[in-house]
Structure 1
Amino acid sequence: MQRVRVSSQQAPVQKLGNSQMTLSPKFRLAAAQSTLLDPALEFELSTRGEQLIPGLPDDVALQCLLRVPVDKHAACKAVCKRWYSLFGSKEQFFTRRKELGFRDPWLFVFAYHKCTGKIEWKVLDLTHFSWHTIPAMPCKDKVCPQGFRCVSIPHEGVLFVCGGVVSDVDCPLNLVLKYDVRKNRWTTMTKMITPRSFFGSGVIDGMVYVAGGSSTDLFELNSAEVLDPKKGMWKPVANMGMNMASYDTAVLNGKLLVTEGWFWPFYVAPRGQIYDPITDNWENMAAGLREGWTGSSVVIYGHLFVVTEHERTKLKVYDMETDSWDVVEGPVLPEQICKPFSVNCWESKVYVVGRNLHVAVGHILRMYPSNPSGKKCRFSVQWQMVDAPQTLFDLTPSSAQVLFA
């Protein structure tokens, strides 16, 4: 297991940007003024011969400067007027990165303070392994962090926070918030048709699906709906066929898999449903799939993996042909990752965020049989630890989303 020490107590978490919004109990945002500088000023500076980096053409210099980590931006702004123009506006900086095709993965962690329950978003730059903050999410007091559901569209650099519950009155919410990396800003979206908490959610072909969950007085729901982010409108889809709150959700082969999850003690087997958006139909989940789904899931190489919570935190993978689960070869989850943890992935890497925001990066390797007609392919994992700074030690993760910035 490889260990990476990325920060210490003397290395504070840097701010990604300053919030330009006013929060209210009604989840309304004040209009945010643009932070972009006058383009005419940038043009004037360039025509006067002020190079971004002396001795380099501006296009080459820009390629270099757009790779500077966010925690260095404050110092970079003091170099010259042109650097101030580039680094002084997060919206301009990330717009230029997007225009030039930069796509570095960042891990956005929805976390809360263990004692106060206060919600914060922390961001781990997966290229430089440094932590940052983003503007506060507009949210009422006394909400249950675990009741929200977060989903993302990674390459568009946006994430959505839906639903939730006011914990002191068990009142579910139909709140929908959108965060845009490029603008570094939260906006409110059209509310869900049905207030819900602890529900299933996922993104299929750019559409955000939510299903089931808990309603007022914790009654379980069977309704489902879908959001078109471009149109900003929700519409109902077929009911699940059973009232069910969700423990975990995954998108596999273009379908939404929703599992109720195991409850201790194991009196009854968990239930599970699968939604096909093409046919707008739900079907029961196979017995082996739902009964072996004992943790948080990711989809890698077109296979469903689960970081288990009841089996020494091993990683296992689902075999669709046999409706069974196989243990992934390699060590168990590093002991620094304490429950509760949140899981996400990108390409062949799985990211597990534990209490105190320590992160384990699992490198998944697919091993093909030497004989094509022989056994099925196997998987192995090797873990790399990324320790969080002590300034984050009082935080517990509730969700983790990968976005590109």
Structure 2
Amino acid sequence: MKSRKREAATASSEQGICSSGEWRGDERGGGGGALLPGLPDEVAALVLARLPRSLLLELKRVCKSWKKALEQPFVAETRAGLPGCMEEWLYVQSWNSYTGKVAWWAFDWQVGKWLCLPTVPRRRGVSAEVFGRASAVLRGKLYVMGGKAGPCGPTLRDLFVYCPLRNKWSRRKQMISTRHSPLVCVLRGKLYVLGGFDWDNQRMDASEVYDYEKDEWAVIENTGHPTLPAPSWYKKDWRPEWQSIVLNNQSYFCSYTEEDGRAFIKEYDPETGIWKLKKHKLKALLRYGLSTVLAGKLHTVDWAAGRVRVADTSGMGWIQMKEIQNLPWVQIWRANPQMVGLGTSLFVVKRGLQIMSIDVSKVDSGQLLRFWGAPMGPGVKDEEVLSCEVLAL
């Protein structure tokens, strides 16, 4: 009972405390001293909120007062309201084919520093590694849901939320149905979990939507769901058989290939819950390339030709990048890469957590490419990239 009360208190503090954006000095606690000598606590809190994101976790170790202050929602709300203060980090879910472990990593691309996140909590009694967890970013937090415990274990309906300020996972209300490897998207401020697979890897049509403000799930319609193939884990060179994107927070597309090899693309309508088949050239790009949304437009790396294609709802066009044609794209593609958009660059993350960025704003200058090494640690070269998210703070 005490643990449940503690979890409820933590969830409520993360959701609603200081929602007005005002500093709550009564929550500082811990010693009664001023945050910064000579300054009112309200002003000192503004100073701390403006500091680089990479320092926030380190500064929490200074004293209890700073720890309490930096964990308040006030910090995130202040940073969001200051031009140029928000920093985007890359979050990577990986599976180590040698150790069999699944982990989450955060990458600060501005300083080239990796951070290993705390392990996602497990349900009591579940000892096997959990695969097939879907993820999404909503309101500055990382949401992870569902999964399957081991090759023969049960499917789960757990929902965990990672807060970057606290560097901790917390539990939220479980999904209505158990599932693994569903399609997940954030549309108009709500989290949609569409389809997925049951314990026997049979396709599910049941879908639901999560309201983060109420911490409630609701069943929604799901007609014409894409016939996705069940993913296969526990082997090297794991690769998803579909890609999905959200454009302008309005449209959600899924591109996939059926057993007979035919490629399709469908668009989901959250108002009606109906998947509509789209006769669109994007299906080939989504299925056979690396795709992500950057500055509201769909960017796809055509790895076979070594160029980038840009598309939006109004049309399609090519961005010629001769500098990337000489890269070993076949080897990169075989390393099961994932791609996300950060700032003005496309970040490609491949096996071993090796990162390459392509700055699409410097097409004419020639300074297009930048590379980062993997984090230090044994067995990192065996990390298979399962998913990538971008979280701003």
TM-score by length of 1: 0.71
Listed one character per residue, the Cα deviations across residues 191-227 of structure 1 (whole Å, up to 9, x for unaligned) are 2233332322111111111223323422223333211
1:341 equivalent in structure 2: 337
Question: CA separation in 2, counterparts of 1:216 and 1:394?
Answer: 27
Question: CA separation in 1, counterparts of 2:257 and 2:5?
Answer: 36
| Counterpart code for 2:115 | H
Is residue 329 of structure 1 aligned with residue 312 of structure 2?
A: no
Shift of 1:150: 0.9
SS in 2 for 1:318: strand
Residues 295, 213 of structure 1: alpha-carbon distance in 2 compared, 3 angstrom cutoff: farther
Residues 86, 285 of structure 1: alpha-carbon distance in 2 compared, 3 angstrom cutoff: farther
1:63 maps to which of 47, 53, 57: 47
Any conservation in 1 of the 2:268–2:274 contact (CA below 8 Å)?
Answer: yes
Shift of 1:74: 5.4
SS in 2 for 1:169: coil
Question: CA separation in 2, counterparts of 1:195 and 1:262?
Answer: 24
Is residue 384 of structure 1 aligned with residue 370 of structure 2?
A: yes
Residues 311, 167 of structure 1: alpha-carbon distance in 2 compared, 3 angstrom cutoff: farther
| Counterpart code for 1:63 | V
SS in 2 for 1:240: coil
Question: CA separation in 2, counterparts of 1:271 and 1:234?
Answer: 29
Comparing both chains, which one has the higher relative contact order based on Cα–Cα distances under 8 Å and sequence gaps of 6 or more? 1
Residues 103, 213 of structure 1: alpha-carbon distance in 2 compared, 3 angstrom cutoff: same
- Let me know the Cα RMSD of the aligned residues: 4.1
Structure 1 vs Structure 2: percent identity of aligned residues?
21
Shift of 1:302: 2.6
Listed one character per residue, the Cα deviations across residues 225-271 of structure 1 (whole Å, up to 9, x for unaligned) are 211111222222222314522722111240111222477xxx42123
Residues 117, 317 of structure 1: alpha-carbon distance in 2 compared, 3 angstrom cutoff: farther
1:188 maps to which of 171, 185, 188: 171
SS in 2 for 1:273: strand
Shift of 1:118: 0.8
1:257 maps to which of 253, 259, 280: 253
Any conservation in 1 of the 2:285–2:291 contact (CA below 8 Å)?
Answer: no
| Counterpart code for 1:301 | A
Is residue 233 of structure 1 aligned with residue 216 of structure 2?
A: yes
Question: CA separation in 2, counterparts of 1:188 and 1:58?
Answer: 31
Question: CA separation in 2, counterparts of 1:228 and 1:65?
Answer: 28
Any conservation in 2 of the 1:344–1:400 contact (CA below 8 Å)?
Answer: yes
SS in 1 for 2:134: strand
Residues 242, 404 of structure 1: alpha-carbon distance in 2 compared, 3 angstrom cutoff: closer
Shift of 1:122: 1.3
Is residue 304 of structure 1 aligned with residue 304 of structure 2?
A: no
Query: How many residue pairs end up in the alignment?
Result: 350
Any conservation in 2 of the 1:163–1:197 contact (CA below 8 Å)?
Answer: yes
SS in 1 for 2:360: strand
2:63 maps to which of 78, 84, 97: 84
Residues 214, 272 of structure 1: alpha-carbon distance in 2 compared, 3 angstrom cutoff: farther
1:148 equivalent in structure 2: 133
SS in 2 for 1:44: coil
Is residue 274 of structure 1 aligned with residue 252 of structure 2?
A: no
Q: Stretches of 4+ moved more than 6 A in 1? A: none
- Superposed, which structure 2 residues align to 1:153-168 within 5 Å? 153=138, 156-168=139-151
SS in 2 for 1:361: strand
1:371 equivalent in structure 2: none
2:20 equivalent in structure 1: none
Residues 394, 234 of structure 1: alpha-carbon distance in 2 compared, 3 angstrom cutoff: same
Residues 317, 198 of structure 1: alpha-carbon distance in 2 compared, 3 angstrom cutoff: farther
Residues 346, 279 of structure 1: alpha-carbon distance in 2 compared, 3 angstrom cutoff: farther
2:237 equivalent in structure 1: none
Any conservation in 2 of the 1:349–1:361 contact (CA below 8 Å)?
Answer: yes
Any conservation in 2 of the 1:208–1:228 contact (CA below 8 Å)?
Answer: yes
| Counterpart code for 1:251 | V
1:221 equivalent in structure 2: 204
SS in 2 for 1:393: helix
- Superposed, which structure 2 residues align to 1:195-206 within 5 Å? 195-206=178-189
Is residue 211 of structure 1 aligned with residue 211 of structure 2?
A: no
